Amino acid sequence: MSDSNDMTERNSTQSRRRFLALGGATGAAALAGCSSILGGGDGGDGGSGETDTGVGQVSLSDFRGSGPLVAQRDAPGGTSIEELPDLSGELTLYLGGGEGGLYLDLIELLEQRYPDFTANHRLEASGDLANTIIEENEAGASPADVFMSIDAGSLGAVANAGATASLPEEALSTVPEAYQDSEGRWVGIAGRARAIPYNTNEVAESDIPSTVQEFPEAAALENSMGWAPSYGAFQSFVTAMRLIRGDDETMSWLQAMQDHGITTYDDEFRVSNACADGELTAGFANHYYTLRVQSARESSPIGLAFTEGDAGALVNVSGLEIINGTDNADLASNFVRHVLSAEAQEFFATRTFAYPMIPGVAPVGDLPRIDELNPPDINLTELADVAGTVDLLRDAGVL
Amino acid sequence: MGTKDRYERLREQATASERDSSPQTLLAVVSLAISLLLLAPLVWVFLRAGEIEFARAMELVTSDTTVSVTLNTLALVTGVTVASIFIGVPLAILTAQTDLPFKRFWTITSALPLVVPSYIGAFAFVSAFGPRGVLADLLAPLGIDQIPTIYGLHGAILVLTLFTYPYVFLTTRASLLSFDGTVVEAARTLNHTRWEAFRRVTLPQIAPGIAAGALLVALYALSDFGTPAIMQYDVFTRMIYNEFGARRLDYASVLSMLLLVMALGILAVESRLNAGRDGAYVSSGSRRPGLIRLGYWKVPALLFCGTIASLCLVLPIGILVQWLLRSGTGYSGGGFAFDAAYAWNSVGLAAAAAAICVVAALPIAYLSARGSSGFSSLPERATYVGYAVPGVVLGLALVYLGLRYVPFLYQSVILLVFAYVIRFLPQAVGTTESSILQVDPSYIEAARSLGYHPLSAFRKVVLPLVAPGIAAGAALVFLTTMKELPATLMLRPTGFETFVTYIWLVQGAGYYGQAAVPALVLVGLSGLSMLVILRREDTS
Amino acid sequence: MSRQTRTQQTSDFDDVDAAVANPNRTVLELDGVSKDYGQELAVENLSLDVKDGELLTLLGPSGCGKTTTLRMIAGLERPSGGQISIADEVIADGSSFRKPEERNVGIVFQDYALFPHLTVAENIAFGLTEMDEEAVGERVDELLELVDLSAHHDKMPSQLSGGQQQRVALARSLAPEPDVLLLDEPFSNLDVRLRVEMREEVRKILKRAGVTAISVTHDQEEALSISDRVAIMNDGTIAQIGDPAEVFENPESRFVASFLGQASFLSARVTNDRIETGLGSFDVELLNGPVAAYNGAMVDVLVRPDDLQAMPTNESKADGYVVHRQYNGPSFVYRVELHSGDVVHCMHNHVETFEPGQPVEVDLVADHDLAWYPTE
């Protein structure tokens, strides 16, 4: 099934931008949940030979996705769950954000592996859950043991309200400092890089500017770009721009982009699809949408570029934190370590096309490694000021 | 002797008689207790707002953003209400009073859009008419690459209208069906054209019915979050949501208060329009007016019905099917597998909410229908306030109050059902009240003179007669509960999923194909409950 | 005493009176009953008693308080003052109030209030809560027979005609054997022909059942034809109470007179043993009761259309002119304006036609004493 012979150009040139040319493989996301795909073939060290996926028997191949982007991967490095204490007991997990649903699969795998472990989960919009946790904390104690959210801002809001407990040092030490709270109150588990999907038939990689500020002047992209300003990730990007450049310059940029001609979409998956369809020449989107497009549609002419050192290169993270007052602190800590294990990170990389947070696990395809990206120097917790951004977007006539 | 006189007299008798008996006092106490219980959570909004210093509050209230959002909200509510009347009333007349072909079919298609959650409708409209939607794809080969944007006020009005006008349709139709046709004939003999007779005789008589539906539409438009959010139009709910998200609770609570004030304003307007409301529901004659012959108007009338049905039903269902076909069932990992338990959870919650609503509605509706003082309709009016509260505000209020005062109920099904009752009780009260008004008050007196205690008289005589109205109210609550999202997300027990939370989950992750099947099943199940509402017409 | 004889003659129903054990026992007594709604006084200091098996009708115009009185007896209104007793038991006074379901009072409503979701038999059985099923069945059959509807046992009320519905309502309220049966405008929903038929029918049923009944109506013909006694009400008080013929022939007030039948008043001056009117001079004996105290004063004499006869004549002999003709089918009633200024009505059979403007001589043809009232 993993028809991977067309995998091309495993080029290790560390360019600031990558051109991802993939095709041929038909592995659809629809099949991503099938187990044992790797079991009979290219198994990793932790999983080779373990084709039995009965209860309690979960192999690396179960954590790993399938399809063209995933084929021929090296075994992940880092701490394997084999080395961690067993998970046991009942954990109450608040999952923030619609895409947090993707993480449910990981939780299910862990539950399969540890029959004594149950994660009682609650999935809501990340901001709502942050509010809920803060209210719960103020009223006494939150029922949640762990808050796992797709959005660092909501993690920061809960942390700033003093509703977190300390994370295990073993977990914090595996993740680069840029992707965790400076006080160690939350830690990233998967990264999402801001990126520029573009149509490879329309423009060449060199037509994509290397800073966000240059986009309004890029002639090749006039009247052919798209964005999704109501989308949370885009708003984080604008928040980052405000932090770096200030409100006035951000406002001018937003207006300049509108003058340049830009189309509004609901979400960035649609922006990315539109680039692949040639409806757009380029757009602003999180990187993994392009990978999802590629994974689902063979030979689609879509490439991915990154800007450098500015808001356009923001790497936001999904992360988690342990909630204040948990009576399950040991289990929660152990759970955090599991999420940062080699297998779980392989899951994020291959199933959700996110950036793994531990250096031992590589991102899929030709994505630059997380330490090869050049993100802006900002504290992700500060991305919590969404309100100011919403006001600004509104004033600029974008929202 | 004039039948009108007779009814007025009966009504006087009814009110006079109950003035003398303790049951009414009991009824008033019970009704008041229910309405206070339901309004209690809104105290939270005032508690929050009360934490703000006065000067700051004034600054927030008078800020440019607040003013523009207030105007936006007013524009949306007014637009949706007016547009719903312009769609709902003609459809009601066409299906109730003309020789339109396939009337029964059009009656069902006209009522059915109510079962489509408006956020699904909004998604469907964006998919169809959005910048890269189906319509744009169809027009592109013709060289049209720019279509007017669906986003903004007009898009929000369009979508909200198409999925809420059935409230006006249903209440107007009920008024028309119980309307004494002889007065129209009288007007015609007084040299009025059909149109003049309609305007001067029919319209004033069905106006309270129209107003009852329009009230539900207006309050729904005020409280809906999903549609304006998807249509990118700034109204109170969207602002409140954003402010809560940004944890600016003071501004969020000020906006919530303004929203409540607007809801009270809408209620006041409707009460004024409905000063002589009772007449609307009571059919004072049994004769239906003769059918209006459409003649050459048959074709435009059919086109009108067909267009509305296409936009409200064919389009969203078509888009759902397209999602299903285009993306298959999408990602089928464990976290996204649909579990039949979700369906049962939805149905169970909706059934519980419907059951509690009809029980709670009875005393309130009875008091309002039969009460003698101006106070009698106060509990009934109060229930409508809850209907206007956006799910997110109610959710947070119940999170806050639940945690502090009833921690054992926090994140329990009980608190969730309570939230549904707060939001949807007025729908049950409205249908129950109109049924009670159609029951001759002397039935109770007759039963009492035959030795029955008032309560058992009510149970033996009134209850069987208002049962169809109660069932219709239950069905309305059932189908609106089935599609409620924000409060469900915030208040459900951890690990408890329903149709809508599941649809929200997979849609949020971009797996539209996964959302299609449950969304279609949700629409189908709710559609069944709509049949209960329409059946009521046959029995009454 | 001739009056008494006539009363007996109007009653064709004496044969069914036998159902009552003690016709002199008072079953219902109202003593000084009042009812006010805030400022508005609906019933004022009303006293009344009704004997066992008697059919009393409260008759009066809209708003006279008759329905309120009925509803107070039923317990559907609480009196503001006074006392009501049924079968020697006080059921309402200043301190106590017995609820309608505890009074043993039946009501037949104006629109019958038949429960539309129950069959005829179920409606009738509705009040029979303390009997076993078999007894209920028997009682229902008995009542269906009484009201002659045995064939309609299982029908729904909506399948019955107006008259049948009324009889079901009657059967239903009679079923629990109430001490008092109240009838609220019982015939107003029937068409004219059925109304006449049902009056007799209902009276027969009531008499056969031996029930004490109070009926309320604004229809004088109905009141006079079915009742044993009539109470004319006006402004919350009883203006006159008595047997129908006595009330009709001897109205004690101008109000009662003008409410019953088509009344005209003839102005007259009393001069010793004569009265002078627009129709000429008559013996004072013609008037009812002692007139001596009014010697020399003006009085108004009640004349009904059948008391007068008009005859065409020439201008010089005429008492007045015909100004209006009212055709009733079997008869004409002519309105005549007398030279004296009085307006009177004369009844003629349907072949005697005069044109408006015809000068006429009017004769007083009454064979009974005439009621009169001091001129106001």
C101-129 pLDDT, tens digit each: 888 899 998 888 888 888 999 999 998 88
Distance separating alpha carbons of residues C64 and C201, to the nearest angstrom: 27
What residues of A are in contact with residue B242 (Cβ under 8 Å)?
386-387, 390
What residues of A are in contact with residue B246 (Cβ under 8 Å)?
127, 384-388, 390
Chain A, 152-181: which have a CB under 8 Å from a chain B CB? 157
Which residue from A200, A105, A97 is spatially nearest to A151, judged by alpha carbons? A97
Whether residue B41 is predicted with pLDDT greater than 50 in this model: the reply is yes
What residues of C are in contact with residue B23 (Cβ under 8 Å)?
none
Whether residue C64 is predicted with pLDDT greater than 60 in this model: the reply is yes
How distant is the Cα of A399 from the closest Cα of chain B, in angstroms? 6
What whole-number percentage of chain C has pLDDT above 90?
Answer: 30
Distance separating alpha carbons of residues C362 and C375, to the nearest angstrom: 22
DSSP B314: I
Whether residue A33 is predicted with pLDDT greater than 60 in this model: the reply is no
How distant is the Cα of A57 from the closest Cα of chain B, in angstroms? 16
Cα–Cα distance list, A280 to A74, A121, C3, C25, C145 (Å): 35, 38, 111, 103, 89
How distant is the Cα of A264 from the closest Cα of chain B, in angstroms? 8
| Structure token pair of residue A274 | 């539109």
Mean pLDDT of A104-117: 90
| Structure token pair of residue C193 | 């022909």
pLDDT, residue C134, reads 92
Distance separating alpha carbons of residues C284 and A147, to the nearest angstrom: 112
Chain A, 25-84: which have a CB under 8 Å from a chain B CB? 28-30, 32-33
Distance separating alpha carbons of residues C348 and C350, to the nearest angstrom: 6
Judge residue B336's burial from the number of C-beta atoms within 10 Å of its C-beta, 0-12 exposed, 13-18 middle, 19 or more buried: buried
Confidence of residue B289 (pLDDT cuts 50, 70, 90): low
Whether residue A284 is predicted with pLDDT greater than 80 in this model: the reply is yes
Chain B, 408-467: which have a CB under 8 Å from a chain C CB? 440, 442-443, 445-454, 457, 460-461, 464-465
pLDDT, residue B22, reads 62
What residues in chain C have their Cβ under 8 A from chain B's Cβ atoms? 37, 67, 71, 74-78, 97, 99-103, 105-107, 109-111, 113, 115-117, 126-127, 129, 172-173, 175-176, 178, 182, 188
**Helix, strand, coil distribution of chain C in percent, nearest 5:** 30, 35, 35
What residues of A are in contact with residue B410 (Cβ under 8 Å)?
143
pLDDT, residue B279, reads 40
ipTM for the whole complex: 0.79
Q: Are A306 and A370 in contact (CB under 8 A)?
A: no
Whether residue B173 is predicted with pLDDT greater than 80 in this model: the reply is yes
Whether residue A43 is predicted with pLDDT greater than 70 in this model: the reply is no
Q: Are A15 and A334 in contact (CB under 8 A)?
A: no
Using CB atoms, which residue from A140, A270, A390 is nearest to B242? A390
Mean pLDDT of C258-271: 87
Which residue from A24, A105, A42, A32 is spatially nearest to A292, judged by alpha carbons? A32
B284 touching chain C per CB within 8 A: no
Distance separating alpha carbons of residues B495 and B503, to the nearest angstrom: 15
Chains with at least 3 CB pairs less than 8 angstroms from chain A: B
Distance separating alpha carbons of residues A379 and C263, to the nearest angstrom: 104
Mean pLDDT of B78-82: 97
Instruction: Give me chain C's average pLDDT, please.
Output: 86
DSSP character string of B20-66: TSHHHHHHHHHHHHHHHHHHGGGHHHHHHHHTS-HHHHHHHHTSHHH
The domains found in chain A, sorted by start residue, are 29-191+318-369 (3.40.190.10), 193-314+382-395 (3.40.190.10)
Q: Do B245 and A279 touch (CB under 8 A)?
A: no
- The HSE-up count of residue B531 (CA atoms within 13 Å, CB side) is 7
The CATH number fitting domain B19-51+332-540, selected from 3.40.50.970, 3.40.50.20, 1.10.3720.10, 1.10.10.10: 1.10.3720.10
Whether residue A304 is predicted with pLDDT greater than 60 in this model: the reply is yes
| Mutation target vs B (from C37, C126, C190; most B CBs, 10 A cutoff) | C126
Query: Which residues make beta-bridge pairs with A285?
Result: A195
Q: Do A122 and B495 touch (CB under 8 A)?
A: yes
What whole-number percentage of chain B has pLDDT above 90?
Answer: 29
Distance separating alpha carbons of residues B42 and B385, to the nearest angstrom: 9
Confidence of residue A101 (pLDDT cuts 50, 70, 90): low
| 3 state SS of C349 | strand
A51: number of Cβ within 10 Å = 15
B229 touching chain A per CB within 8 A: yes
What residues of B are in contact with residue C97 (Cβ under 8 Å)?
20
What residues of C are in contact with residue B457 (Cβ under 8 Å)?
101
| Structure token pair of residue A92 | 């109450």
The domains found in chain C, sorted by start residue, are 2-104+178-258 (3.40.50.300), 263-374 (2.40.50.140)
Indicate where chain B has its CATH 1.10.3720.10 domain(s).
Answer: 19-51+332-540, 87-327
Q: Give me the CATH topology for the region B87-327.
A: MetI-like fold (1.10.3720)
Q: Are B389 and B260 in contact (CB under 8 A)?
A: yes
Query: Which residues make beta-bridge pairs with A164?
Result: A323
Q: Are B94 and B304 in contact (CB under 8 A)?
A: yes
Which residue from A183, A193, A274 is spatially nearest to A228, judged by alpha carbons? A274
Helix (H) and strand (E) counts in chain A? 12, 12
Q: Where do we find the tokens 């509807």?
A: C149
B126 touching chain A per CB within 8 A: yes
Confidence of residue A98 (pLDDT cuts 50, 70, 90): low
B68 touching chain A per CB within 8 A: no
**Dihedral (CA of A136, A142, A147, A152) sign:** positive
Confidence of residue A45 (pLDDT cuts 50, 70, 90): very low
pLDDT, residue B131, reads 63
Confidence of residue A320 (pLDDT cuts 50, 70, 90): very high
DSSP character string of A219-244: GGGTT-EEE-TTSHHHHHHHHHHHHH
Whether residue C3 is predicted with pLDDT greater than 50 in this model: the reply is no
Q: How, if at all, do strands C55-59 and C229-234 pair? A: parallel
Which residue from B426, B429, B457, B427 is spatially nearest to B444, judged by alpha carbons? B457
| 3 state SS of B505 | helix
Mean pLDDT of B445-463: 88
Q: Do A101 and B495 touch (CB under 8 A)?
A: no
Q: Do B229 and A122 touch (CB under 8 A)?
A: no
**Helix, strand, coil distribution of chain A in percent, nearest 5:** 40, 15, 45
pLDDT, residue B517, reads 84
Please write the tens of the pLDDT for every residue from A374-388: 888 888 877 777 778
How distant is the Cα of C23 from the closest Cα of chain B, in angstroms? 25
Which residue from C334, B494, B466, B504 is spatially nearest to A91, judged by alpha carbons? B494
Confidence of residue A236 (pLDDT cuts 50, 70, 90): confident
Distance separating alpha carbons of residues B474 and B351, to the nearest angstrom: 8
Listed in sequence order, the residues at least 6 apart from B476 whose beta carbon sits closer than 8 Å to its beta carbon are: B424, B427, B428, B431, B529, B533
Distance separating alpha carbons of residues C143 and C211, to the nearest angstrom: 13
Confidence of residue B205 (pLDDT cuts 50, 70, 90): confident
Please write the tens of the pLDDT for every residue from C149-171: 999 999 999 889 888 999 999 99
Question: What is the count of residue pairs from B and C with beta carbons less than 8 Å apart?
Answer: 84
Confidence of residue B290 (pLDDT cuts 50, 70, 90): low
Residue B487 backbone class (left: φ over 0; alpha: ψ -120 to 50; beta: rest): alpha
Distance separating alpha carbons of residues B499 and B506, to the nearest angstrom: 11
Please write the tens of the pLDDT for every residue from B344-360: 999 999 999 999 999 99
